[in-house]
Amino acid sequence: MLNFIKLVRQCFEFFFCALIVGVLIAGCGSGSSSTATTPVAGFTQSYTSSAGAGDVLNFTVNTASMTYSFQVLETSYGASAVASGIPSASEVLTTETSTGTLTGPNAVGSYTASASGDGFIIGGEIFPLQNSFFIGHVIISKIGGSTRKIPVMGVTNPVTSLTGLSGEYNLQGFGCSGRSGGLVTGGTVSCANHYGTAWITPAVGGATATITTCRFGNLASSSVPSTTCVPLGGGAAVASITADANLTAVSGVPGVYDFKTASDGRHRGWLFAFTSAGQNVAIIDHDDVYTPEFGHSVALTQASVTSGSLDGNYFVKNNIGERHLMAVSGVTYTDISDATGLSASGSLNYDYPWTGLISYQFNSGAASGVMDIATVGAFSYTSNTYRYIFGVGLKY
């Protein structure tokens, strides 16, 4: 019966619930533009990546030697100072690092990851694009054991100047009221997805920046903030547009920024971004022990989208461990779940509920949600039907 219920839900919830998790850029890049491309054989690339359950990794792939390596940069599970909620001034890297092998590429261009030499990673599936995105999942022995497929997302060439982050963003993600261990439904903590907007405003001189966030509201609209617009970390609805957090550069890790509460300077997470074709793609890794909130968000510079501008095929991973292949064509889409082989199709409404977002529905409107797609090919979505689901993907 449980399998039948899962099958019905997967058919009903066409999409890839999310993962996105964020990507704290690995290299010391200058923030130069990158372009999403089809997989290139025989390249080496490093990505700073956020694992949705609470880890930030530097993940390097070599598709010539068919190997990968990683280092845990930050974690909310005890391997760094983040676990205590009081990060050290220097943010010293953890010592968890190892290597493993890859097999593939698979039919769509992804690779299967073996267990790492230290046993920290048990396995996974990754889809790396050179000079661009990296998404997939990893099974981490210390987070969820052998059963939880933790979504990961990474990027290259991070923006190393706060001035380069300036702008208005649409954002989507999920947060849990505790360390979920990769279990976002049916566990001891509650998890919920969100979408909204954020403003990043660098201070004069660019040494710091403020960030204003709004759940389920568009900060560019004169009709919000409203009673439905609360800061990303939760709390009371805002009565005016006021910065709720600050960003400062992390020493020794170019392109990674400490995300702190504006009122008291408490650490809430990490933010990093890269620029492609004039559009910023940012990732926020939430590891806030005070709110509390654990998870991640993906933010894309707000820009109008129209039917036909985002046509193509998308590879998607979600925060309940599923893989989906989606095709967008004008105002329609089709989606195939690898877990069941079931397919669904539905309709898309561009620039709704506001500029840059896309609402979707299927099953005659019985299921719905919101997606955000960058012209460079980054993808995220949330489900209105299953409020814990969040997914991320890339165009391939």
Task: Report the range out of 31-35, 133-137, 353-357 with the highest average pLDDT.
Answer: 353-357
Is the pLDDT confidence value at 154 over 90? no
Flag whether pLDDT at 163 surpasses 60: yes
- What rounded mean pLDDT belongs to the chain? 80
Contact status, residue 315 vs residue 201, Cβ threshold 8 Å: no
CA distance 29 to 37: 19
The neighbouring-strand residues paired with 283 are 272, 298
- pLDDT at residue number 11: 40
216 or 330: which leads in pLDDT: 330
Instruction: Check: CB of residue 15 under 8 Å from CB of residue 335.
Output: yes
Q: CB atoms < 10 A from the CB of 104, how many?
A: 17
- CA gap 378, 238 in Å, rounded: 30
* Distance spanning both ends of the chain, measured CA to CA: 36
Give the per-residue pLDDT at 291.
Answer: 78
Residues 6+ apart with CB under 8 A from 87: 80, 81, 258, 267
3-state SS, residue 5: helix
Neighbours of 274 (CB within 10 A): 30
**Which residue shows structure tokens 């040494």?**
207
Side chain identity at 238, as an amino acid letter?
V
256 beta partners:
272
Q: Of 230, 225, 158, which is closest to residue 192 (Cα–Cα)?
A: 230
Task: Please state, in angstroms and rounded to a whole number, the distance separating the CA atoms of residues 253 and 155.
Answer: 14
Assigned token pair, 17: 């619930």
Q: Of 3-7, 104-108, 148-152, where does mean pLDDT reach its minimum?
A: 3-7
Mean pLDDT score, 303-317: 94
User: CA–CA distance from 392 to each of 26, 52, 264, 299, 318 (Å)?
Assistant: 19, 11, 32, 11, 6
Take residue 85 and report the two structure tokens written for it: 């909620």
What is the pTM assigned to this prediction? 0.82
Q: Tell me how far apart the alpha carbons of residues 285 and 269 are, in angstroms, rounded to a whole number.
A: 5
Rounded Cα gap, residues 136 and 163, in angstroms: 30
Place 57 in a pLDDT band, splitting at 50, 70 and 90: confident
Count Cα neighbours of 222 within 13 Å in the Cβ-side half-sphere: 0
Higher pLDDT, 329 or 97: 329
Three-state SS for 11?
helix
Quick one: pLDDT band at residue 223, thresholds 50, 70, 90? low
The answer to whether residues 21 and 285 touch, using CB atoms and an 8 Å cutoff, is yes
